[in-house]
Amino acid sequence: MSAPASAQELEPRSSGERPPAARTALRAAGLVGSLLVLLAVLTLSIGVGARQLSPGEVWQGLVDSQSAAHAVVHQMRLPRTLLGLLAGAALGLAGGVMQALTRNPLADPGLLGINAGAAAAVASAGAFLGVATFDGYVWFALAGTATVAALVYAVGGGRGATPARLALAGAALNAALYSYVSAVMLLEAASLERMRFWTVGSLASAQSTTVVKVLPFIAVGLVLALALARPLNALALGDDSARALGARPALVRTAAIAAVTLLCGAATAACGPIVFVGLMVPHLVRALTGPDLRWMFPYCAVLAPVLLLGADVLGRVLARPGELQVGIVTAVLGGPFFLYFVNRAKMVGRS
């Protein structure tokens, strides 16, 4: 008996499709190009602000402790940029994992209430338990994320969930949890003052200690999510086919929920709930890579920080000398994208 075919080999191919070697080379070149774009956005993020820095000044600020830009770069711009890099990769990859796991093109940590679960847990910890540091926030955020992820999956129908049922379950929990967060903040003046920027999603208060503390959680989540690309490819063919290909559906689903919990919980604890990054990036990436998650996930991890940091820079430029919080900018950008995608899905369904 011949060995079972891989998930990629089972995908239909059109007569005009490029050969596998050409597709691989093209995708690899695209990934390198995406890394170069990310490097440019990282430089822009460090250089743009109340005080403009040229690329040369950015470099001097990074390597020369005697440079006039050293304090600005190391104390303000670099922690903010690194946190945006980590949070963007986490949210983009979490969105890709959720869409693959639920087979729901509208899956997003913000739309399905995952970020709201973390926000509700953090707000409760701050208002009722006096937790005021990332060390304390992160554990509550992880617990809130895991609880809401399980609830959405269960209420949406579990393994028999449809995209519509998942979206409705997520929307209901999202509305209820954000109403709770608003009530807690209004009743607790100290919580309102401490969390008013955090609740809209912000990188402005980033510190180097926060970056160091959030890194292990996001790094583990990233590694786990990337390792799930092949099993999730197999799972897309159905449970029986996945088992024939050597995957264990129950274990894959559990690992995927763990990855989303780590990525969303840590990113939300550090930056607040930022929406639409996990929705927009996988859709844009899928147009470049196709449905193969082994390429889609790395692209998401690279291009999601481009979107998040680009939105952060845009917020600084538009409201100068103040700034718009990055969560507001992503919501403004993501809202029309979401409406366009829903309308496009309806048109495809009618055709």
- Domain-by-domain residue ranges, the chain? 34-350
Helix, strand and coil content of the chain, in percent to the nearest 5, comes to 75, 0, 25
What is the DSSP secondary-structure string of 321-350? TS---HHHHHHHHHHHHHHHHHHHHHHHHH
Over pLDDT 90: what percentage of the chain?
A: 35
The more confidently predicted of residues 149 and 97 is 97
Which pLDDT score is estimated for 326?
92
Q: What is the mean pLDDT of residues 218-243?
A: 92
Confidence of residue 65 (pLDDT cuts 50, 70, 90): confident
What pLDDT was estimated at residue 163?
65
The predicted-structure confidence for 142-189, as pLDDT tens digits, reads as follows: 999 989 888 887 777 666 666 667 778 888 888 899 899 888 888 776
pLDDT, mean of residues 69-93? 93
Q: Which CATH class for the 34-350 domain?
A: mainly alpha
Place 14 in a pLDDT band, splitting at 50, 70 and 90: very low
Per-residue model confidence (pLDDT) at position 282: 93
3-state secondary structure of 286: helix
pLDDT of 222 strictly over 50: yes
**Lowest-pLDDT choice from 72-76, 104-108, 172-176, 304-308:** 104-108
More confident residue, 322 or 215: 215
Query: What's the pLDDT band for 225 if we cut at 50, 70, 90?
Result: very high
Residue scoring higher pLDDT (277 or 321): 277
Claim: this prediction has a pTM higher than 0.85: yes
> Which residue would you say has higher pLDDT here, 230 or 154?
230
Task: Over range 108-114, report the average pLDDT.
Answer: 81
Q: What separation in angstroms does the CA of 228 have from each of 224, 225, 250?
A: 6, 5, 13
- Above 80 in pLDDT, residue 2? no
User: Which position has the higher pLDDT, 231 or 241?
Assistant: 231
Q: What is the mean pLDDT of residues 200-226?
A: 92
- Mean residue pLDDT of the chain comes to 84
Which distant-in-sequence residues (6+ apart) come within 8 Å of 318 by Cβ? Answer: 324
The pLDDT score that the predictor gives to residue 129 is 84
Tell me: pLDDT of 214 over 80: yes
Model confidence pLDDT, tens digit, residues 283-302:
899 988 988 999 999 999 99
What is the spatial distance between Cα 279 and Cα 140, in angstroms, rounded to a whole number? 24
Q: How far is Cα 337 from Cα 77, in angstroms, rounded to an integer?
A: 29
**Between the ranges 155-159, 280-284, 342-346, where is the mean pLDDT highest?**
280-284
Instruction: Single out the residue of 101, 124, 266, 98 nearest to residue 185, CA to CA.
Output: 124
Q: Average the pLDDT over 119-129 and give the result.
A: 86
